[in-house]
């Protein structure tokens, strides 16, 4: 497992545990080490800074959208293509069942190297799947491990956002990784936007925000300050009313127990789907638009 910069103490304990197991040890000593690791993880992950949260959200072993869809979606019929130019492999989607609910599942993954990719095709594919959900009167579920890059994809992004806002079927989203950029707005256009505990969402990356800081400061402190200023953590966005709920992660982050994290996502999705399934389509559309219009609205003076 890849350990993050702030996990040195956990890495040392894990190395000690591996050495103990390699030497044939176990029993009480192994249980003692495991308990120490659990306590250390609880202490570290109970006080993550926003920048540390970004690092966790970007962890390469964190479950991607396709992994979550494989766990949740029974009988998935995957659909490809944007019906214009081609298919974006970073956008997965199709018709499936989550327990007793037929749904259209859409997944936004990040590239393996983490680099942004042209996203017009993926955004058109997303819009096509959303329209398919409405045609078959199925709820749409978006699992976003990353936000598609919006460079040179403005018209496609605008059309995708308009499609999401116009839907007359439920739309539930779950942000599972590090979402940044204009396309991150798609996740908050849902009727019920959810986030994993250590996911993050912002209009720009901390690196882009840090580039606007005055020169001459310490680079690490500037990056940390930029992450603080973006209010990008799930807890901060919940407090601001941008998302509806935070989904708890396994001890030490979803990358340590991807399957358990996917089960928690599934439980949260089912609860929202049950709540939204009987709501009139016109009311869903109106509430969705009103909710988005209320973002950033100044509080009325007492």
Question: Would the pLDDT of 99 be above 70?
Answer: yes
Express as a percent the part of the chain with pLDDT over 90: 78
> Domain ranges in the chain?
7-47, 53-293
**Calpha distance 170→72 (Å, rounded):** 18
**Calpha distance 62→124 (Å, rounded):** 26
Determine the average pLDDT of the residues in 201-218. 88
Q: What is the pTM of this model?
A: 0.92
Range 53-293 classified under CATH 2.40.30.10 = no
Q: At what angle do helices 8-22 and 27-45 cross, to 10 degrees?
A: 160
Chain segment 23-75, per-residue pLDDT in tens:
777 788 889 999 999 999 999 999 999 999 999 999 999 999 999 999 999 99
Chain segment 133-162, per-residue pLDDT in tens:
999 999 999 999 999 877 767 889 999 999
Residue whose pair of structure tokens reads 């919006």 in the numeric block: 150
Chain segment 78-87, per-residue pLDDT in tens:
999 888 878 8
């Amino acid at each position: 497992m890849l350990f993050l910069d702030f996990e040195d103490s956990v890495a040392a304990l894990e190395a000690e545990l591996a050495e103990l197991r390699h030497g044939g040890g176990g029993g009480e000593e192994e249980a003692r080490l495991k308990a120490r690791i659990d306590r250390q993880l609880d202490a570290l992950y109970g006080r993550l800074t926003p920048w540390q949260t970004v690092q966790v959200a970007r962890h390469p072993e964190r479950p991607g959208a396709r992994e979550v869809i494989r766990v949740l979606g029974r009988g998935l019929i995957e659909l490809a293509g944007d019906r214009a130019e081609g298919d974006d492999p970073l956008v997965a989607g199709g018709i499936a069942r989550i327990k007793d609910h037929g749904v259209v599942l859409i997944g936004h993954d990040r590239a393996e190297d983490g680099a942004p990719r042209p996203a017009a095709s993926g955004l058109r594919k997303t819009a096509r799947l959303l329209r398919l959900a409405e045609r078959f009167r199925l709820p749409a579920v978006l699992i976003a491990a990353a936000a598609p890059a919006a460079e040179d994809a403005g018209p496609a992004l605008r059309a995708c956002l308009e499609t999401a806002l116009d839907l007359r079927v439920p739309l539930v989203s779950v942000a599972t990784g590090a979402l940044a950029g204009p396309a991150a707005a798609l996740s908050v256009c849902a009727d019920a936007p959810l986030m994993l505990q250590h996911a993050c969402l912002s209009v720009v990356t901390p690196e882009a925000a840090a580039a606007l800081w005055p020169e001459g400061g310490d680079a690490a402190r500037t990056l940390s300050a930029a992450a603080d200023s973006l209010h990008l953590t799930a807890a901060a966005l919940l407090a601001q009313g941008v998302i509806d709920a935070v989904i708890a992660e396994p001890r030490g982050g979803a990358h340590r127990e991807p399957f358990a994290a996917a089960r928690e996502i599934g439980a949260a999705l089912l609860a929202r789907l049950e709540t939204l399934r009987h709501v009139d389509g016109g009311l869903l559309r109106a509430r969705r638009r009103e909710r988005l219009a209320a973002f950033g609205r100044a509080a009325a003076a007492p």
